[in-house]
Structure 1
Amino acid sequence: MHIVQQYDYSRVYKGKIDLLSGLPSSGERARPIQTLAWYPAQKSAAPALLYGDYIRSATTEEVFARTDAEVKQLAGAWIGQRWGGIGAAQAEQEWRRPMWAVRDAVELPGKFPVVIYAPSFSASAHESADLCEYLASQGYLVLASPDMGAHECTMSHDIEGVEAQVGDIEFLIGYAHGLAQADMAHLAVVGYSWGGMSNVFAAAKDSRITALVSLDGSLRYFPELVNSAKYVVPARLALPFLFVAARPRSIEDLLAKKQDLSASLMNNMAYTDLYKVTMYPMTHANFSSEYQRFASDAGGFGEYSRAETSLAHSWMARYVHQFLNAYLKNDAAGLAFMNGTPEKNLVPPHMLTLESRHANGQPPTLETLAEGLGKRGFEHAGEVYKDIKSRHGDFQPSEESLRGWGYQLLLANKTGAAIEIFKLVTVLFPDSWNAFDCLAEAYQQNQDRALAIKHYRRSLELEPKNDNAAQHLKTLNAAR
C-alpha cells in the first residue's frame, strides 16, 4: 500500500482568509488529495500494516506536513472522539490488529483493473480498508481519498458537496492514468453512503467508468440532489450497477422521517444490468469496516451480534468482488455468481436477497444515433433516428448538438456525412434559419451550387437579417 500526498491544483480549497485565525491564509491553497493506493504486490518479508497505521494516515489528510508529535497526538484522540463508547482494551486490540497490506511493497508486473473507492460523508479514505485490501489481493488496483467538503474537511449536504467528491473521483482517474499497473480500459467506482451517490454523478459525466457499486448509497436518500443535477439521467448511466442495500426500513419510519418517496433513479435505469442485494443483518453503518471494529457491543449492532454483521459484511465484499470480476474482467464464473440465487451461491439462509434485471436495449443518445449510422451509413440518418424515436418517444437531440456534430464532420472533410446530419436538423427543426444555413454551407463545400443556393434562400426566408446567407449568395452569384 502506498500513501501519496498530492494536490489538485485545478481547484482551490483554502479561502483567502483563514477561518481559524481571521488572517490571510498561508501555504498551499489548492485542494489536498491524500491518496491511499492498494495494489497487487510481490510477497514481502516486511511486517504488515497495523490498523493503527491507517488511523495515523487519516491525521494528515488535510494537512500533509504534520510533525510526528502532532500525528501521535491526533491519532491517539481519534478513537476517543469517534468511538468513545468502546473500552480501552478493545480499542488497543483493534489498533494493533495486523492487516493484509504491506507499506510500499514491490508492485507485481502487469496491468490490473482500476477501482476508485469513494468514502461516506466526511469519512477518511481508509474507512473500508478491509474491502480495499481484499480487492487488491484479488487483482485490482484500488485508489481512495477522503471525503471532504469543497473548502473544509467537513462535507456539506448540498450539490456543491457532491460535486467536490465527484471532482476527487475525476482527479483519481487522472492520477491512475500515470500508474504502470493501471488498466484504464476497465474502471469501476465503488462508493459507500455519500460516496455511493457521488460515484453515480461521476459516471453520468464520464463514460470511461465501466461499472458502479453503491454500498447503501445516498442515491436513495437524497432524491432532490439527484434531480437537481440534470445530467444524472438513465440515458447517461448505461453501465453495470450493483447496489448493496441495508436492511429495509419500514414505510412508517420513512414517512416519520419525511423521506421523499416520490422518485427513484434506480427504478428508471433501464439501460443497465442492475443488481440489488439487500443485506438483512446490516444497518447503514455496518458497511464501514471501521464501524465493525470499533462500535460498542452494547447497542452498536441492534438485534444482531458483531459476529453476525461481520459475516454479512464479508458476503457484501464477496458480491462486490464477483460483480467486478464479471464486468471488469469478463469472468464467466463471476457473471454466473451474480445471476445465481443466494442459495446456489451458498449464502447462509435469511442473510440477503438478490433482485436483478438486465439492460433493455441502448439508451436514446446521440452516441447511439452515431453508432447506428456507423453501421448503416449516414445516408440512413432519418431512418435510424425514426427507429430510435419509435422506441423512445422522448428522444429529441438538441439543434445545437446536431449542428455541432455536423460541423465536426465538415472539419473532418466528411462532407457527405455532414450533409446528411444537417438534412436531419432541417427535418427536426423546420423553422430554424440556422439549420438551413448550415445545410447550405455543407452543400457549398461539396461543390453543389444549386442546392447551396436553394437552402441559403430558405434560410433568408426564415431570417431576412441573416447576413451570412446573403454574403454567400453574392459569392455564388445568385440573387436573394
Structure 2
Amino acid sequence: MGTRTFIMRIAILLIFVLFQSYESNGQTSLKEINLDNGKYIVGFRHYTTSDSTRTYSRTYDFSNKKIARPIPVSIWYPSEQNTGDKNPMKILDYFQIFKEEEEWEYLPNEQLLNWFYYSNTPANQNHLNEQTKAYSEIEFANGKFPTIVYAPSHQASSIENFALCEYLASHGYIVISSPSRGTETRWFSNNNAKEMETQARDVEFLIKEVGKFPIANYNKFAVMGFSFGGLANVIAQNRNEKVKAIVSLDGTERYQYALLKESPFFNIEKMDVPYLHMAQKDIPEKVLIEDNIDAELNTRFELYDSIPKSKAYRFKFNNLTHSYFSTLGILFADRDKRQDKSDSEIMESYKWASIYTLNFLSAFLENDDKALKFIDNKPFDNGVGKGLITQRTNQTEGLVFTFQDFNDLASSQNYQSLSQLYNSTLKQYPSFKIAEGDLNTLGLQLVFNPNTSDQGINIFLFAIELYPNSANLFDSLAEGYLFSGNKSKAIENFKKSLELNSQNKNSIDRLKQLNE
C-alpha cells in the first residue's frame, strides 16, 4: 500500500508540477459553495464502453494481454422525474467511479483517502458522506438539450468536476466525460504530444457516444476542459465542426502552447468559435523563486493572444490557484500556505467560475442575449466583488489597449512584476505606449495613501525603467521613500534627480531639509 500511495502522489506532482502545495486542511463543503441550481433535477449515469480501433493494457493485471481501449463514461443530464422516494448520490458514490477508473475496483472504501492522493483527515472523511445534487439512473427529461464534452486534467477522473457538471445539468445541459488516460495504459508516457492526441481522440469518441442519447442536441455542442484537457479540446475543435464553443478551466494550452503546435492537426486559423479561458491567480514571487517557476507564467497567454478569428474571453480569477478549478481540488486538496486564499474565498471564486461557464454557454449555444450581456459586462457590474476577477475580451481586429486597461491588470496583481506585465502586453499590442505623466500621477496617488505606499513605489521603480532620464520621476520616487520613512533612499533619489536636472528646486529644497 505504501508503494501505491507513493506512485500516486508522484503522479499528481507531475500533473501539478507548477502548482505544488504545503499541507493545510481546508474547511469546505458542497453546501458552502452554494451554487444556484436550475429548474431541472440532475440525473447521472455511468457505464463503460470501448473503442475497438485502439488497444490498451491494464497496468495492475500484470499481463501482456491487449484489450480494446475501455472508455468509462460519466453523463449528467436534466430530468423531470419525481425523486420523492429516492436519495441523491453521495460523494462516496462518485469515488466508486474514481476507484474503477484507477483500476482499483475492489479497494475497500476505508482505504480511499490513504490510497489516492488526498489527505486522510476527518474533514475529508466527512466530505465522502456529503450529499450531491445528482440522482443515479433517473429518467431523461423530454426534449433536446445543448451538450458538453468535458475533458479532465492530467490522468484525472471523469468525475473530478462533478459539482460544475451537476450545476450545468440542472440548467438544461448534458455533460459527458471520460477519464484522462494514457495511450497504452492508465498512466501517461513521457511523450506528451502523443498523450494529447490520445485524449483528443477520447473527446471525439464522446462526441459520437453522446449522439446515442436522443436528448442530445448536436446543433448546440461545446467542449469544456480543465488543465491538460484544454489541449485535447483545442485539437478536437480543430477537427470537428460540431464544436461551437470552447470553455477552458485554466487549460494547459495556455502554459504549453508549443506542445499544442507540435500537433499536425492544430491550426490557430481554425479556432473560429467563441473561446472562454478562465485563468488561475498570479503566482506570488516567493513561490516563483522557491519552486523555480518562470515568472512569465503569470502574464503569458500565447494561445489567447494569437486567436485571429473568434471572440475570445479571458478572465483571471485572482483567488484561485490552479487545482481549485475542479470540485475535487476545492474539497479535498491540501492548501498551500504561501499563496492560497481562504476557503471561503476559494469557494466563492469557484462559484463565479461556474456562473461564467453557464452564461458563456447560454450566450453562444442558446443565443441568450441576457447571458451575452453578462459575459460582456465588467465583473463588478455582475455583482462580482472588487478585485476577484480581471477581465479581457479579444474582439480579434482593431483592438485598442489603454493605460486604464494596463492599470486594471497591474492592480489585479498588486502592482507586482510590472515589467513582465508590460513586456507581455507589448507582444499583443506592439503600439501600446505609457505616458510618463500617467505613471507619475498614478504613482503619487498610490504612494501618498498609507495603505498603498509600497504599490506606489513599485510604479515609480517601473517608471524609471521606462524613463531612466526623467528627473521628475526620480524626484517623485524620492518623495515616496520619504513619505514611507526611508530617509536614505529618499536622499539617494533626490540626488539622482539633481544629476539629471541640476535646477530641480524641489530636490534642492528637500536635500537641504534632510541634511539639516
TM-score normalised by L of structure 2: 0.64
Q: CA deviation at 1:227?
A: 1.7
The 1:250/1:6 distance shift into structure 2, 3 A limit, reads same
1:121-270 pair list within 5 angstroms: 121-156=154-189, 158-249=192-283, 253=288, 256-258=292-294, 264-270=302-308
Q: Does 1:305 align with 2:342?
A: yes
The 1:21/1:292 distance shift into structure 2, 3 A limit, reads closer
Q: CA deviation at 1:85?
A: 3.2
Report what 2:83 is aligned to.
44
The 1:290/1:240 distance shift into structure 2, 3 A limit, reads same
Q: CA deviation at 1:201?
A: 1.3
The 1:22/1:289 distance shift into structure 2, 3 A limit, reads closer
Whether the 8 Å CA contact 1:86–1:295 is kept in 2: the answer is: no
Aligned partners of 1:6, 1:300: CA distance in 2, in Å? 42
The 1:24/1:258 distance shift into structure 2, 3 A limit, reads same
Aligned partners of 2:115, 2:178: CA distance in 1, in Å? 21
Report what 2:326 is aligned to.
288
Instruction: Report SS of the residue matched to 2:78.
Output: coil
Whether the 8 Å CA contact 2:284–2:339 is kept in 1: the answer is: no
Q: Does 1:11 align with 2:65?
A: no
Whether the 8 Å CA contact 1:190–1:213 is kept in 2: the answer is: yes
Aligned partners of 2:189, 2:305: CA distance in 1, in Å? 27
Q: Report the residue type matching 1:289 in the other structure.
A: T
Whether the 8 Å CA contact 1:39–1:139 is kept in 2: the answer is: yes
Aligned partners of 2:372, 2:212: CA distance in 1, in Å? 30
Q: Does 1:335 align with 2:369?
A: no
Aligned partners of 2:214, 2:315: CA distance in 1, in Å? 34
89-98 vs 121-130, greater mean Cα deviation: 89-98
Q: Does 1:107 align with 2:140?
A: yes
Instruction: Report SS of the residue matched to 2:222.
Output: strand
Q: Report the residue type matching 1:35 in the other structure.
A: V
Q: Report the residue type matching 2:281 in the other structure.
A: R
Whether the 8 Å CA contact 2:311–2:394 is kept in 1: the answer is: yes
Report what 1:2 is aligned to.
45
Whether the 8 Å CA contact 2:151–2:225 is kept in 1: the answer is: yes
Q: CA deviation at 1:359?
A: 4.4
Aligned partners of 2:158, 2:116: CA distance in 1, in Å? 15
Whether the 8 Å CA contact 2:113–2:119 is kept in 1: the answer is: no
Q: Report the residue type matching 2:153 in the other structure.
A: S
143-152 vs 39-48, greater mean Cα deviation: 39-48
Aligned partners of 1:346, 1:81: CA distance in 2, in Å? 41
Q: CA deviation at 1:116?
A: 0.6
Whether the 8 Å CA contact 1:278–1:354 is kept in 2: the answer is: yes
Q: CA deviation at 1:11?
A: 1.1
Match of 2:99 among 42, 59, 68: 59
The 1:20/1:308 distance shift into structure 2, 3 A limit, reads closer
Q: Report the residue type matching 1:257 in the other structure.
A: I
Aligned partners of 2:370, 2:301: CA distance in 1, in Å? 35
Q: Report the residue type matching 1:55 in the other structure.
A: F
Match of 1:278 among 306, 311, 316: 316
Q: Report the residue type matching 1:34 in the other structure.
A: P
Instruction: Report SS of the residue matched to 1:309.
Output: helix
Whether the 8 Å CA contact 2:60–2:103 is kept in 1: the answer is: no
- Greater Rg by CA: 1
Whether the 8 Å CA contact 1:221–1:259 is kept in 2: the answer is: no
Deviations 1:97-127 (A, max 9, x none): 0000000111110000000110000100110
Aligned partners of 1:284, 1:96: CA distance in 2, in Å? 26
The 1:76/1:338 distance shift into structure 2, 3 A limit, reads same
Q: Which has the higher contact order (CA 8 A, sep 6+)?
A: 2
The 1:357/1:84 distance shift into structure 2, 3 A limit, reads closer
1:402-413 pair list within 5 angstroms: none
The 1:47/1:21 distance shift into structure 2, 3 A limit, reads closer
Deviations 1:349-392 (A, max 9, x none): 1111111022449xxxxxxxxxxxxxxxxxxxxxxxxxxxxxxx
The 1:205/1:301 distance shift into structure 2, 3 A limit, reads farther
Report what 1:420 is aligned to.
none
Q: Does 1:79 align with 2:113?
A: yes
The 1:243/1:291 distance shift into structure 2, 3 A limit, reads same
Report what 1:373 is aligned to.
none
Deviations 1:264-315 (A, max 9, x none): 1221101011000100000001111111111346x46844111110110000
Aligned partners of 1:284, 1:186: CA distance in 2, in Å? 29
1:13-28 pair list within 5 angstroms: 13-14=56-57, 23-25=63-65
Q: CA deviation at 1:224?
A: 2.4
The 1:21/1:242 distance shift into structure 2, 3 A limit, reads closer
Q: Report the residue type matching 1:234 in the other structure.
A: I
Instruction: Report SS of the residue matched to 1:150.
Output: coil
Q: CA deviation at 1:223?
A: 2.3
Instruction: Report SS of the residue matched to 1:160.
Output: helix
RMSD of the alignment, in Å?
Answer: 2.4
Aligned partners of 2:226, 2:338: CA distance in 1, in Å? 18
Whether the 8 Å CA contact 2:59–2:186 is kept in 1: the answer is: no
Q: Report the residue type matching 1:293 in the other structure.
A: L
Aligned partners of 1:237, 1:154: CA distance in 2, in Å? 29
Aligned partners of 1:246, 1:296: CA distance in 2, in Å? 17
Q: CA deviation at 1:165?
A: 0.6
Whether the 8 Å CA contact 1:128–1:288 is kept in 2: the answer is: yes
Report what 1:368 is aligned to.
none
Identical aligned pairs, as a percentage? 27
Match of 1:353 among 390, 400, 412: 390
1:320-399 pair list within 5 angstroms: 320-360=357-397
Q: Report the residue type matching 1:357 in the other structure.
A: N
Aligned partners of 2:152, 2:60: CA distance in 1, in Å? 26
Aligned length: 348
Instruction: Report SS of the residue matched to 1:39.
Output: strand
